[in-house]
Structure formats: C-alpha cells, structure tokens
Structure 1
Amino acid sequence: MHKHFSLLTAVVLVIGLTTIMESRAMGNEPLLDARQQSIVTISAFTTIGDIARLKSALHQGLDAGLTVNEIKEVLVQMYAYAGFPRSLGGIWAFMGVLDERKAQGIHDEIGRDASPIPVDLDRDAYGERVRADLAGLKEIPSTKAPYQEFSPIIDTFLKEHLFADIFARDILTHQERELATIACLASLGRAEGPLSFHIHAAMNTGLSEGQLHDVIKVLRDRVGTQEAQAADDVLAGVLAERD
C-alpha cells in the first residue's frame, strides 16, 4: 500500500510539473512583471499611433514602477524602428500624462540619467560587438551580409547609431530594449526579418520562451490580435530554429 501510494504521489507530481511547464510554454502564466508588460504596451501603442490607449499605458507604466526617464528612453528608442513622427507623438503624449499626474498631486520618480559615453569610444567597433552579442555570435563575422555589401552606409548607421549611440545608453538594459523592439516590430507589421532577429536577440539576453509567449499574450489581450499573431508566427519559427 505504501509503495503504491508513493508511486501514485510521484506520478501526480510529475503530471503537475508537466502541466505547469506546458502552461508556461503556452504563455498562460504571466512571466513578465508589470514593468516589462508596460514596456510592451507603451512600445506597441507608440508604434500604432493610438494616443488614447498610449496615455493609459503610460499611466500604468508609471504605476508599475517605471521611472520617467525609463519611459522617455523607450519612447526615444521607438524612432529607430517606428520613425520620428511616432516617437515624437509618444513624447508629446507622455508630457501630457505627466502634467495630468502632477495636477493630481502624483509625484513620479524621475530616475537616473544615462551614464556618460566615453568621447573616444570606437562606435563602429562597439556597435558591431553589440550586434554580434545580440545575435549570439562569439566572433565578428568575417564576411558581410548582402545588404551590408549593397548599402554600406546603412550598416554604418546600424552599428554606430543604433547599436552604439542608442544601446550604449544604460537607462534600459539590452533585454528591456529588445522587449520594446519586439513589441514595436510586431505592431509595425510586415517586418518578419527584423522581428526574427530581435526575438533571437531577446532570448540571447536571457528572456525565456515563456516570457516571449507572455509578450504575445500581452499583445493579444491589450493591443490587438493582428499584432499578437504577427509575433506568434515569427516566434514559432525562431523556436524551431533554436531547437
């Protein structure tokens, strides 16, 4: 009887653990914290240009513990992927939200500024190293991709501006920047190639499969089914590649 009981207990524990793991893999258990979820929604609504819902997401982000400077950094990064008009629209919306909260007597934490970037930083080398790290490469590729050969200047802008000037600003971690970028590209539409790169990059910064499923859940529940499906389709391909 005791042996049967022990075996039954073990089976129940295994089934329970399997169910939990499957639930996490399917994104049914929230694995992103409130700050991370707010980065997703702020990035998505900025990209879409839905100011009304963006303002709500900004309020939620501040209430979740994002500092004013962290949110500003998310909005600034959006110009690299969604363009200046969307980024500036988000910044104007944020200014309005802060005025509203100040009038209500709410004092939000400003947060720290970015650390100074060394004046002698080799931005080309730094950006190339960051891009390789995000791609999961230990060595800088010796051969250039076709787009780099075709348009060397875009490669320079990517290395020196995006992956150096922007990613070197330490208000946000690289992982948080990847989270914002995934939400932006999923909301932008028809950006499967860059979205695939940045989902890989997000996992290379330590975001789990469950957390990425949770990104899709946040998009589906709070943003829209189209944006969620775009991310879900690409994530499936990324996971198949990594397996």
Structure 2
Amino acid sequence: MTMNNARSSRPRTALSALLAISLGLGMAPGIAAQNTEESPAMPRTQPALTKLSAKQQAIPLIAAFMATSDMPRLNTALEQGLDAGLTISDAREILVQLYAYVGFPRSLNALNELMTVVEARKQRGLQDAPGREPSRTIATGDALLAAGTANQTRISGGPVKGPVFDFAPVINQFLQAHLFGDIFERDNLDWQSRELATVGALAATPGVEPQLRSHMSASLRVGLSAEQLHHLCAVLAERGDEQSARRASTALAQALALSGEKS
C-alpha cells in the first residue's frame, strides 16, 4: 500500500514503477509534496539538509529489523528511537503502517515488542511522550475513496492507470480507499517519516528492488535530500545489515539518475 523522464524514454522502468504502484509499494514520478504543516516538501531554493536527525536515523533501523523479525535488534532500535525523541505514537504508527509492506504477522509481533519496551522503560523510571493521534476524523465511504484518490494522484503525479489496473481494478480500489485513504490520511506521522520507514523495510527485504527504487524517488519528492538518503544508507551499513545497505545504495543511485540529481 508505489519518473517523468523514465516514462518517455524507458518503458521498462515505467512498467516497473507501475507494478510497484500496483502493489502499494511504489511511487510514480512527479509527486507533489504532502500538504501538511508537519512535513512540507523542501523548496529547492533552500539549502538541502545533509544529515538525518537522530530521531530520523532510528526509523529505518526500526523498520528493517521489523521486516526481518529480528526482535533483539528491534528492541534496541526502539529503545534508541525513544531516547532520540520518537514518541510512543510515532513508533506505534511506523509499526502499524508497515503491515502494508511486510505483513500483519510482523506488524503484530513488532507492536508487542514495542509494548514490552515501553513497559520496561516505565519500570526504569523513563516516561516517554505519548505523542498524538490523528488530528482529524478519517472519512468513510465515498469521501474516503475521494481523499485516497486525491492522495494517490498527488503522490503519483497524475491519475494512476495501466494494464495491471485494467486486469485487476479492485487492487486500485484497495489502494485508493485503504493505503492512500485510511493510512495516508492519518496526520500523526509526517510523510518523510513514512518514507524513511518504508525504505528501511524494503531495503531489508530481498526481491523488492523496483519498489525500493520507487520509494527512494518518493523520499526525494517529499523533501528528503540526496545527502540525507546517503546518510540513511550509511546508517544501515553501520548499524543494520550490509546487504540492506547495498540494496538501498543501489536504489538511491538509480533514483537519482532518473531524477537528474547529482549522486
């Protein structure tokens, strides 16, 4: 619940992007920024940030260890994320969202681990900020479908069409109403954080390289800089897994090549 230059000159790449979107795991070209106060796209006239904050660094690690069901390292990453300023709501939302990418069983197991971490921290006298719930009521029915379709169109740079959706139109209904509706309408986690989580989870998952590349492009479009994404790859290499870091670095290089940005 996924590349304007590529669309015209690289049909093979365009098809990969389309397949990624069809699975809810990829983003197409021309994404507009998320229209929230918390995570606006970074204007190109402003100097790009070169490093992820300590809180941001924790997100892809949490996601990667959740995706691989590495509970001891997930426990450590959750501890470090809470120490760095993630609220309980932030951490919980990351783990909830990722069910769309790595499945309900891993999400449920990770949520249980978060509960364990929070309770253990309470026993040590640590009081983590609870964070907040979404600030608005999520729509239902036709209103939810309309909101989700608008989010999908914004993220994809235009209405999503293609052979996959002609073959299985219901998948796009699920994407629009649930992934881009129920999940992306929740404003208690900004889109930069959501992309950092998705990139971390996909980097740790062999065989989803097209989706990973699409989400690297999406990360750039929601305001993360190339330098920050290089930093993400370095964090995965230093504190995560070498193969995950390699997949992330390759995907980033491909995304930058497609966007025309310097690597």
TM-score normalised to structure 2 length? 0.77
Aligned-pair RMSD on alpha carbons? Answer: 1.7
CA contact (8 A) 1:117 1:168 kept: yes
CA gap 1:50/1:229 in 2 versus in 1, 3 angstroms: same
Take 2:150 and 2:211, find their aligned partners in 1: how far apart are those partners?
18
CA-to-aligned-CA distance 1:160-181 (integer Å, 9 cap, x gap): 1111100111110111111111
Q: CA deviation at 1:214?
A: 0.9
**One-letter amino acid of the counterpart of residue 62, structure 2:** I
Indicate the residue corresponding to 2:159 in structure 1: 140
Q: Which residues of 2 match residues 183-198 of structure 1 at below 5 A?
A: 183-198=200-215
Take 2:119 and 2:55, find their aligned partners in 1: how far apart are those partners?
21
CA gap 1:117/1:32 in 2 versus in 1, 3 angstroms: same
CA-to-aligned-CA distance 1:45-64 (integer Å, 9 cap, x gap): 11110000000001101100
SS at match of 1:226: helix
Q: Is 1:227–2:244 an aligned residue pair?
A: yes
* RCO comparison, higher one (Cα < 8 Å, 6+): 2
Indicate the residue corresponding to 1:114 in structure 2: 134
Indicate the residue corresponding to 1:126 in structure 2: 147
Q: Is 1:44–2:64 an aligned residue pair?
A: yes
Q: CA deviation at 1:68?
A: 0.3
Indicate the residue corresponding to 1:217 in structure 2: 234
Task: Count the aligned residue pairs.
Answer: 212
Query: Runs of 5+ in structure 2 lacking a partner?
Result: 1-47
**One-letter amino acid of the counterpart of residue 198, structure 1:** H
- 120, 124, 130: which one pairs with 1:104? 124
Take 2:52 and 2:229, find their aligned partners in 1: how far apart are those partners?
9
CA-to-aligned-CA distance 1:44-94 (integer Å, 9 cap, x gap): 111110000000001101100110011000010110000011111110111
Take 1:55 and 1:110, find their aligned partners in 2: how far apart are those partners?
18
**One-letter amino acid of the counterpart of residue 152, structure 2:** R
Take 1:156 and 1:92, find their aligned partners in 2: how far apart are those partners?
30
Take 1:89 and 1:237, find their aligned partners in 2: how far apart are those partners?
33
Q: CA deviation at 1:118?
A: 3.5
Take 1:173 and 1:164, find their aligned partners in 2: how far apart are those partners?
15
Take 1:146 and 1:196, find their aligned partners in 2: how far apart are those partners?
21
- Between 1:61-70 and 1:190-199, the stretch displaced more is 190-199
Q: Is 1:56–2:76 an aligned residue pair?
A: yes
- 47, 54, 75: which one pairs with 2:95? 75
TM-score normalised to structure 1 length? 0.83
- Between 1:220-229 and 1:151-160, the stretch displaced more is 151-160
Q: Is 1:84–2:101 an aligned residue pair?
A: no
Q: CA deviation at 1:119?
A: 4.4
Q: CA deviation at 1:126?
A: 2.0
Q: Which residues of 2 match residues 11-26 of structure 1 at below 5 A?
A: none
**One-letter amino acid of the counterpart of residue 144, structure 2:** R
**One-letter amino acid of the counterpart of residue 151, structure 2:** V
SS at match of 1:117: coil
- Percent identity of equivalent pairs: 43
Indicate the structure with greater helix content.
1
CA contact (8 A) 1:134 1:202 kept: no
SS at match of 2:61: helix
Take 1:160 and 1:120, find their aligned partners in 2: how far apart are those partners?
8
Indicate the residue corresponding to 1:159 in structure 2: 176
Take 1:131 and 1:185, find their aligned partners in 2: how far apart are those partners?
20
Rg bigger for which structure? 1
Take 2:240 and 2:154, find their aligned partners in 1: how far apart are those partners?
30
